[in-house]
Each structure stands twice: as structure tokens, then as C-alpha cells.
């Protein structure tokens, strides 16, 4: 499926994947070309309710593009903190809210070595290849499970012409 068709066919897009896989770059392109409003979702502070935060985001009118979302908690939480602050039931409920907005999840991925190189280009620092591989695999498992409940398209960002955003 082409990105142009993806943008035309959906009112809501959720871009997810590891740090430096190309989410923000692709979000910026899709917003400029197709009129999406971008919401970047950094890590939600521990004292805030994740479910309510994302429900409020998904209740907004218009074309919405989430640059990272609640799915990152299912991947980064267990790997970095030993647990997720979101249950699978809550994640599926939120995923169904995305679908009700004519939504699609875009699983952005790249080989771990490419992600490591992009991280180093950003600020000279990068996690070791094993940690990045664990993150890539975590996203793959998450999207494999999620695809039973909602539409998911996987895009290897090395195949896209994405300029660096800095």
C-alpha cells in the first residue's frame, strides 16, 4: 500500500517504532501533504493516567496523526522498567478507539544496525545492538498481537526516501 493511499483512506494514523526509526520525519511529511494534525507523544509521567490521556487525544476532531503512542509503553516499559503501565486489555481498547476513527497503525521498522547508526548520527550516543534488537523484536511481537484486533501496515523505513530531521 502506498503512503498516499494510506493517507487518503484513513482519518487517523498511528506511527510507532523504535527511537530514530523515522516516525517524526514521516509524520511531518504526511501532515504537510495530507492535512493531518500531529500529536507527538513523549513518555507520559508516571502520575498521569495513560488511558485517559490517549482517550482525550483520540476524542479530538479532524485528521489526527499520533507520532508515537500508547503502544510504546508495551515495548519500552517492560524492557526499561520491568513492567508496562498499560495492560493488554487497555491497549486493545485504545486500539479499537483508533479504528473507530477510521484509523490505521503504521509499524515503522529498520534493521537494528541502521537504527544504531541513526542514533549515533543524532548525538554520538547509541544503545548497544542487543538492546536495539530487543526493542525491534518487542515492537514486532506487539504488532503481531495487535494485528488480530486492528489494521497494521509494516514499513521498513530504509526503503523510504526520508531525509534526516536533525
- What is the C-alpha to C-alpha distance for residues 51 and 29, in angstroms, rounded to an integer? 28
- What is the C-alpha to C-alpha distance for residues 42 and 39, in angstroms, rounded to an integer? 10
pTM recorded for the entire structure: 0.91
> Domain 3-159 belongs to what topology?
Rossmann fold (3.40.50)
Which residue stretches of the chain are H helix?
3-9, 23-34, 50-58, 71-76, 88-100, 112-123, 129-146
Split the chain (166 residues) into runs of 10 and give each run's mean pLDDT. 88 95 94 94 77 93 95 92 93 96 97 94 90 96 95 92 53
Residue 166: what pLDDT? Answer: 43
Residue 48: what pLDDT? Answer: 79
Residue 160: what pLDDT? Answer: 79
- What is the C-alpha to C-alpha distance for residues 88 and 142, in angstroms, rounded to an integer? 10
Q: Domain ranges in the chain?
A: 3-159
Cell of 141: 511481537
Residue 157: what pLDDT? Answer: 93
Per the CB < 8 A criterion, the answer to whether 62 and 37 are in contact is: yes
- What is the C-alpha to C-alpha distance for residues 90 and 15, in angstroms, rounded to an integer? 19
- Closest by CA to 21, choosing from 119, 97, 94, 93, is 119
Amino acid at each position: 500500500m502506498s503512503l498516499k493511499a494510506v493517507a487518503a483512506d484513513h482519518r487517523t494514523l498511528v506511527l510507532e517504532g523504535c527511537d530514530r526509526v523515522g516516525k517524526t520525519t514521516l509524520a511531518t511529511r504526511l501532515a504537510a501533504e495530507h492535512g493531518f494534525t500531529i500529536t507527538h507523544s513523549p513518555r507520559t509521567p508516571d502520575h498521569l493516567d495513560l488511558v485517559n490521556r490517549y482517550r482525550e487525544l483520540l476524542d479530538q476532531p479532524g485528521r489526527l496523526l499520533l507520532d508515537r503512542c500508547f503502544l510504546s509503553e508495551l515495548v519500552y516499559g517492560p524492557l526499561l522498567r520491568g513492567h508496562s503501565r498499560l495492560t493488554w486489555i487497555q491497549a486493545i481498547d485504545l486500539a479499537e478507539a483508533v479504528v473507530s476513527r477510521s484509523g490505521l497503525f503504521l509499524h515503522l521498522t529498520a534493521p537494528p544496525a541502521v537504527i544504531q547508526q541513526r542514533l549515533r548520527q543524532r548525538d554520538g550516543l547509541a544503545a548497544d545492538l542487543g538492546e536495539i534488537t530487543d526493542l525491534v523484536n518487542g515492537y514486532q511481537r506487539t504488532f503481531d498481537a495487535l494485528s488480530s484486533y486492528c489494521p497494521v501496515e509494516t514499513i521498513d523505513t530504509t526503503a523510504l526516501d526520508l531525509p534526516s530531521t536533525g
